[in-house]
Amino acid sequence: QVQLVDSGGGFVQAGGSLRLSCVASRSTTSFNSMGWYRQAPGQRRELVASVNDYGTTYVADSVKGRFTISRDNAKNAVYLQMNSLKPEDTAVYYCHLEDTYSRITWGQGTQVTVSS
């Protein structure tokens, strides 16, 4: 079973940047999709960005133009570059992986806090 370790969260002022990292315990070359969800207090967990096995990316409208998802197969890693951060981006961000058998794996979550 693959394990995911997500990291890179922190405290940042509005307009600042953070880069989240998600490292898998084994190769990520045979997955359906991998990406990031976030959940703020009292809110549902929502998809922020994802990349599929073809390298096609999805970015939610709320973060489009500010967030970029990328992958590095050599490092078994997926990254979320977050620029121009806003207070409404404050949430716990969770790495997510769905393999070719539709099995789901979650990272433990990393807190992102953006102050105004």
- How does residue 29 score in pLDDT terms, banded at 50, 70 and 90? low
**Both tokens of residue 58?**
């999805």
pLDDT score of 28 more than 70: no
Q: Is 74 helix (H, G, I), strand (E, B) or coil?
A: helix
Least confident of 43-47, 51-55, 64-68, 91-95: 51-55
DSSP H helical segments within 59-103, as ranges? none
